[in-house]
Amino acid sequence: MCGSCGAVHRSHYDKKVRRVRDLSCGEMRIYLEVRIRRVQCRRCGKVKREALEWLSRNPFYTKRFAFFVGRRCRSMTIQDVAKELKLDWHTVKELDKQYMEKQLA
């Protein structure tokens, strides 16, 4: 499915393996190795990565991990969450922003 317009396609333009961070299991960080396809859309004319409903807007994190980060930011500072989860401050801020947009929608 085209990540831009949502058109469904049977073939793909190319693909690559991407490591996507998911929720941790205890102290162990969990990464999923996902084969992401890009499609050349006939409808909108763009080459875009396929839309996967469980990926956040930042394609390096699952939606449930992004939700977890957003929930942590309700009780901790962005800097503390970044330190605890070993993430960049800007990444935590962006994931928190996505969480807040979802809560206000």
Q: What is the pLDDT of residues 52-86, one digit of tens each?
A: 889 888 889 999 999 999 999 999 999 999 999 99
Say what the pLDDT of residue 1 is.
66
Of 38, 86, 29, 26, nearest to 62 (Cα)?
29
* The model scores a pTM over 0.85: no
pLDDT exceeds 70 at position 44: yes
Please state, for a pLDDT cut of 90, what percent of the chain lies above it: 57
Burial of 20 (0-12, 13-18, 19+ CB in 10 A): buried
Say what the pLDDT of residue 66 is.
95
Please state, for a pLDDT cut of 70, what percent of the chain lies above it: 90
Say what the pLDDT of residue 45 is.
76
Domain boundary among the residues 33, 52, 71 is at 52
Q: How does the average pLDDT of the chain come out, rounded? A: 88
| Residue 96: domain span | 53-105
Note whether 35 and 57 are same-domain residues: no
pLDDT exceeds 90 at position 5: no
| Domains identified in the chain, total number | 2
Note whether 60 and 30 are same-domain residues: no
Cα 17–Cα 37–Cα 96 angle in degrees, nearest 5: 75
